[in-house]
Amino acid sequence: MKRQGIVFVISAPSGAGKSTICEGLRHSADFVYSVSCTTRAPRPGEVNGKDYWFISADEFTRHAAGGEFLEWAEVHGNCYGTLRARVLELVAQGTDVLLDIDVAGARQVRGQADAGFKPTLVDVFIMPPSAEELERRLRKRGTENEAQIQTRLANAKREMEEWRDYQYVIVSGSMEEDLARFRAIMSAERCRSRRWL
Amino acid sequence: MKRQGIVFVISAPSGAGKSTICEGLRHSADFVYSVSCTTRAPRPGEVNGKDYWFISADEFTRHAAGGEFLEWAEVHGNCYGTLRARVLELVAQGTDVLLDIDVAGARQVRGQADAGFKPTLVDVFIMPPSAEELERRLRKRGTENEAQIQTRLANAKREMEEWRDYQYVIVSGSMEEDLARFRAIMSAERCRSRRWL
């Protein structure tokens, strides 16, 4: 039996534990991370085609104007986007793809599904166990100042209101629990009978 | 966040590895096995209320006439059935229930869902990797004579045609793989956002 690839989407407010899940998943060979395009400059150690596709603003604008992005956004003056063609190519080969995108990006991808983007979409929201715990985790990272923490918390609360738009919600517990649940969702979705051709 | 219990259904042709999965699941405390009623006599070691509810033919008929069974069947002159009330009670408490029933039983349960049986139903079919492997496993058990093996194989092939009616299909591999996949389905289904009240 054969099947098409599945497009998995993972979203979470910062501090909810998404990076940890993604890091843990990197050891799995059974799917491909979608590499985004970005107009921002590579940071030391970042590799083109692995961390991002580093492209010029002109090229980005051309892709966007051509409707070639599954989703894209401008963040702090830099653009980030996922090219549809690459995702479709992988899916057609039967490869599962993981998109690590925010709530707004997920909304765009879902919109494309309505408009004829055919691959199966499975979206997962990582929910912080509570607002207090989210704040605790953000402060523990020690990478943001007070104003940034307040901004992130406000954003997080806004994003958390959209959890019902996702097919799955993982209420974040320990790193191992979150990772096991995400893997379970991937494994289960692969057993869905309607996937099989 | 709270949720109602989920009714998990597991079906498989004999020799597909279902007993092994169910045995492995017995060590989980996170769901309840549905105990069927039967009119057959207890075998040595069988415990009333654990292996089956052993009831009289009269009592069985009364339950059936009252429409109290989620599903029931007569096999070799004995009747087997699942009482709806007990399942509903568990589900209302937020407890997940596992029904180990055949293809015909699953069809009956699905029919009840259409007719207003409200709990979430998640049905899983265990598919033998191939007809040859199924035959090999049946022969290996050494519990059936040639005629019985042929009957079971014919039944299995008929049942295998219904796999598309199930939401999930596990193509049986090793015992550990099957068990891990079934557990993944349970875990994933518990993360479905629409489950949460």
Choose the weakest-confidence range: A26-30, B36-40, B149-153, B155-159.
A26-30
Q: Percent of chain B scored above 70 by pLDDT?
A: 96
**Minimal-distance CA residue of chain B relative to A172:** B191
With an 8 Å Cβ cutoff, is B60 touching chain A?
no
B37-38/B78-83 β-pairing: antiparallel
Chain A to chain B Cβ contacts (< 8 Å): 68
With an 8 Å Cβ cutoff, is B125 touching chain A?
yes
Q: Which residues of chain B does A189 touch, with a Cβ-Cβ cutoff of 8 Å?
A: 188
With an 8 Å Cβ cutoff, is B183 touching chain A?
yes
Q: Which residues of chain B does A2 touch, with a Cβ-Cβ cutoff of 8 Å?
A: none
Q: Which residues of chain A does B191 touch, with a Cβ-Cβ cutoff of 8 Å?
A: 124, 168-170, 181, 184-185
CATH architecture under which domain B6-34+94-195 falls = 3-Layer(aba) Sandwich (3.40)
Q: What is the mean pLDDT of chain A?
A: 89
For the segment B36-58, the average pLDDT, to the nearest whole number, is: 95
CATH number of A6-195: 3.40.50.300
Is pLDDT at B155 greater than 70 in this prediction? yes
- A71: confidence class by pLDDT, cuts 50, 70, 90: very high
Note whether A187 contacts B193, CB cutoff 8 Å. no
- B18: confidence class by pLDDT, cuts 50, 70, 90: confident
Q: What is the pLDDT of residue A21?
A: 87
ipTM > 0.90 for the complex: no
Listing DSSP states for B43-75 in one string gives PTT--BTTTBEE--HHHHHHHHHTT-EEEEEEE
Q: What is the pLDDT of residue A105?
A: 93
pLDDT in tens, A51-61: 999 999 999 99
The nearest CA of chain A is from the CA of B152 a distance in Å of 24
Q: Helix, strand or coil for residue B102?
A: coil
Q: Which residues of chain B does A3 touch, with a Cβ-Cβ cutoff of 8 Å?
A: none
Is pLDDT at A93 greater than 80 in this prediction? yes
Q: What is the pLDDT of residue A29?
A: 78
Count the Cβ atoms, other than its own, within 10 Å of residue A163.
19
Is pLDDT at B134 greater than 90 in this prediction? no
The nearest CA of chain A is from the CA of B58 a distance in Å of 40
Q: What is the pLDDT of residue B170?
A: 94
Is pLDDT at B114 greater than 70 in this prediction? no
- Label residue A133 exposed, middle or buried (CB < 10 Å: 0-12, 13-18, 19+): middle
| Residues contacting A161, CB < 8 A, separation 6+ | none
Q: What is the pLDDT of residue A117?
A: 66
Q: What residue spans define the domains of chain A?
A: 6-195
